[in-house]
Amino acid sequence: MPSLSKLLLCLASFLLVEAAPSFGGGRLERRSVGSTISTPTGTYQGKILSRVEQWQGIPYAQQPIGELRFASPQPLALTNDTTVQSKIVFGPRCGQYVNGVLSEECLNLNIYRPQGTRQTAGLPVMVYIFGGSFMGGGANSYKPTNLVLRSKAISKSVIIVTLDYRLGALGFLVSPELREQGALNLGLQDQAMAFQWVQDNIALFGGDPSKVTIFGQSAGAIAVSMHLSSIRPENSTDLFRAAILESGAPGTAPAFDYTSSYPAKKAPSDGTKYSLILASAGCSAVIAEEQLACLRNATAASILVGQSKVKTYGGFPYAPTVDGLMVPDLPSKLYSAGNLRRVPLIVGTNLDEGPEFVSSTTYYSTALTTDAQLLAWLGNQLPDATSTAIAALVRFYPSTQSYGSPYNTGNVKYLFKQFKRASSIFGDLAFEAPRRALLAAANQWSGVDGGEMPVWSYQFSQRSEGEAEYLGVSHGAEIPWVWSTVNATTPEQITLRNGMSDYWINFANDLNPNGAINTTSTTPLVWPAYEQQNKTSISFKVNATELIADTFRAGGISYINNNPDVFGQ
């Protein structure tokens, strides 16, 4: 079964191994010196590797140390200093030990563009937010080289930006003092600051700041969804014009935040989390007015010790919280008010989102073999739901093995008797119901009080080679296909790999995954926009990519979305 570390990594991504692409022609070049670019905040020299020019570790904000710890990110100072800084190595991950070193000087981003890109190129820009439960992961897990090369091969070149942002307690701690100072959701604020840096500087690298698409997976997709409703003045619609959400939506975080183990082990409150941090930092005895100053003077290591003591038995120990700014309200209330940026969206999930989580003892401590145990487990995950509401939900999910997740596996039983049933329910609570709710809201508000909001929905249905059968098409399985790093050896595999990359590249270029009108598409088939009167998704699978009706498990998913207060939506 997956360990907690594997679970956290899976919530973000799989570590992508860069493979030699089968497109573009020619041998990959050795590393050579890249261009030197002068910005108002520094002059940076990059490198060229595999025909991709890249800069790594460029700061996009003042580093969050000293007085800036637990504070909103601050813009970099303008400078006349023309000293060339070599930016060919990744900056540190935020608030994590890497090779025994812990650093908070992590508000950096990385830029990748096709070799030979001119400053006047005006290329579309794709800004990626990694996942990892808002606790782990980093931009250096991703190798955008192949996706950049693919974009050039189909004459739709893009620039890709990856970024690091504050995680865990350093990025998502909640306290009255932080709320009063507008310093909640600091990780989201960091991302918005990075978006602003892109607006201010990407033209110097050959990008078009008016053609930015933000995209992310898992916690990264949740973060993307938060930016769709953020009302911070600096986070206006001008920061991006489109978004892609892979396995995450606004309702996913609340669903995870309620998760706890069987039997009853409730996640600690924000106050308890804060008190653990205070205690580990030696700040418990300090008067309330001076606690934040004490935390800013404490060692980062002591804060991580307190962070590690927060046990949620699954879910997000730290996650976005309603602050009225970055996260104005619960998703269902934002949807009903039409608080959504009117931008084109791609929103999707994988066939079997639930098994990865239900298979981990992080999420249960006793195998679920009876109906009573399943109901009790759900009761611990959903503290606001009555036993009547939980029983009503469970009735939509038959106990017959053939109905459960991993789907399409017949009557095979995995791990324990209620595993497939619990996985199906969990996957719908955390992923499918939030996806459908977002799609419905986008359809409802498109063209109302703003621009159009066309949306496309997908389901990734290709199981990863070597993946345990009980995980099915698991959370994160689509990542190497999107990034063109999967080891595709057959024509059918290459078609799927290139097709998925091309849909994403087309979307960044043309605001349509099929590409511009009246052009020849390089993708497997026309992917129609999602509409309530014709709920069509595309299902990605080797040699079997097809259009499907997005009506599966309609009863259970509708019940979840029709009772948002009960199910944390």
How many structural domains are present in the chain?
1
Determine contact, residues 534/457, Cβ cutoff 8 Å: no
- Intra-chain end-to-end CA distance of the chain, in Å: 29
Determine contact, residues 358/256, Cβ cutoff 8 Å: no
Nearest to 238 by CA among 68, 80, 451: 451
The reply to whether 515 falls in a domain is no
- Mark residue 206 as left, alpha or beta (left: phi above 0; alpha: psi -120 to 50; beta: remaining): left
| DSSP single-letter state for residue 523 | S
Min mean pLDDT across 220-224, 236-240, 422-426, 529-533 is at: 236-240
Determine contact, residues 564/429, Cβ cutoff 8 Å: no
Query: What is the domain extent for residue 93?
Result: 4-249+317-359+425-479+530-567
Across the range 121-128, mean pLDDT stands at: 98
Element (H, E) at 44: strand 42-49
Residue 324's pLDDT is 87
| DSSP string for residues in 218-287 | THHHHHHHHHTT---TTS-GGG-SEEEEES--TTHHHHHHT--BTTTBPPPPHHHHHHHHHHHHT-TTS-
Q: What is the pLDDT of residues 357-405, one digit of tens each?
A: 999 876 677 789 999 999 988 887 787 789 999 999 999 999 999 999 9
Determine contact, residues 300/95, Cβ cutoff 8 Å: yes
Across the range 325-340, mean pLDDT stands at: 88
Determine contact, residues 512/504, Cβ cutoff 8 Å: no
Across the range 17-39, mean pLDDT stands at: 62
Which are the catalytic amino acids?
Answer: 218, 353
| Cα 208 to Cα 491: distance, rounded to the nearest angstrom | 34
Nearest to 122 by CA among 113, 130, 131, 109: 113
Nearest to 160 by CA among 494, 508, 405: 508
| Cα 20 to Cα 434: distance, rounded to the nearest angstrom | 36
The reply to whether 98 falls in a domain is yes
Determine contact, residues 508/213, Cβ cutoff 8 Å: yes
The reply to whether 22 falls in a domain is yes
Going by pLDDT thresholds of 50, 70 and 90, the confidence category of residue 233 is low
Contacts 24+ apart (CB under 8 A), 24-28: 24/51, 24/149, 24/150, 24/152, 24/153, 26/51
The reply to whether 375 falls in a domain is no
SS3 of 35, please?
strand
Is the pLDDT reported for residue 112 higher than 90? Answer: yes
The reply to whether 392 falls in a domain is no
The reply to whether 396 falls in a domain is no
Residue 519's pLDDT is 53
Q: At what angle do helices 288-297 and 270-281 cross, to 10 degrees?
A: 60
Q: What is the pLDDT of residues 45-61, one digit of tens each?
A: 999 999 999 999 999 99
Is the pLDDT reported for residue 460 higher than 90? Answer: yes
Torsion angle, alpha carbons of 188, 190, 195, 196, to 10: 130
Min mean pLDDT across 175-179, 221-225, 240-244 is at: 175-179
As a whole number of Å, the CA-based R_g of the chain is: 23
| Cα 247 to Cα 259: distance, rounded to the nearest angstrom | 17
Residue 29's pLDDT is 47
Min mean pLDDT across 115-129, 181-195, 365-379 is at: 365-379
Q: Which amino acid is at 273?
A: K
Element (H, E) at 129: strand 123-129
Find the CATH number of the domain harbouring 545.
3.40.50.1820
Torsion angle, alpha carbons of 238, 243, 248, 254, to 10: 20
Is the pLDDT reported for residue 269 higher than 70? Answer: no
The reply to whether 508 falls in a domain is no
Contacts of 485 (CB under 8 A, 6+ apart): 16, 17, 18, 19, 143, 146
Q: What does DSSP say about strands 536-540 and 455-460: parallel, antiparallel, or unpaired?
A: parallel
Cβ density class 414-439: b for 16+ within 10 Å, e for less:
bbbbbbbbbbbbbbbbbbbbbbbbbb
Nearest to 115 by CA among 141, 145, 143, 154: 145
Residue 86's pLDDT is 94
Percentage of the chain beyond pLDDT 90 is: 71
Residue 322's pLDDT is 87
569 vs 515 pLDDT, higher one? 515
Nearest to 133 by CA among 11, 279, 290, 293: 11
| Cα 332 to Cα 9: distance, rounded to the nearest angstrom | 29
Residue 517's pLDDT is 58
Across the range 329-344, mean pLDDT stands at: 90
pTM: 0.93
Q: What are phi and psi of 69, to 5 degrees?
A: -70, 140
SS3 of 208, please?
strand
The reply to whether 373 falls in a domain is no
C-alpha atoms less than 13 angstroms from C-alpha of 243 in its C-beta half-sphere: 31
Going by pLDDT thresholds of 50, 70 and 90, the confidence category of residue 244 is very high
| Cα 126 to Cα 93: distance, rounded to the nearest angstrom | 21
Determine contact, residues 335/186, Cβ cutoff 8 Å: no
Q: Which two tokens stand for residue 269?
A: 């409150």
| Cα 117 to Cα 200: distance, rounded to the nearest angstrom | 18
Alpha-carbon 420 to chain mean position = 25
Determine contact, residues 90/144, Cβ cutoff 8 Å: no
345 vs 336 pLDDT, higher one? 345
Going by pLDDT thresholds of 50, 70 and 90, the confidence category of residue 267 is low
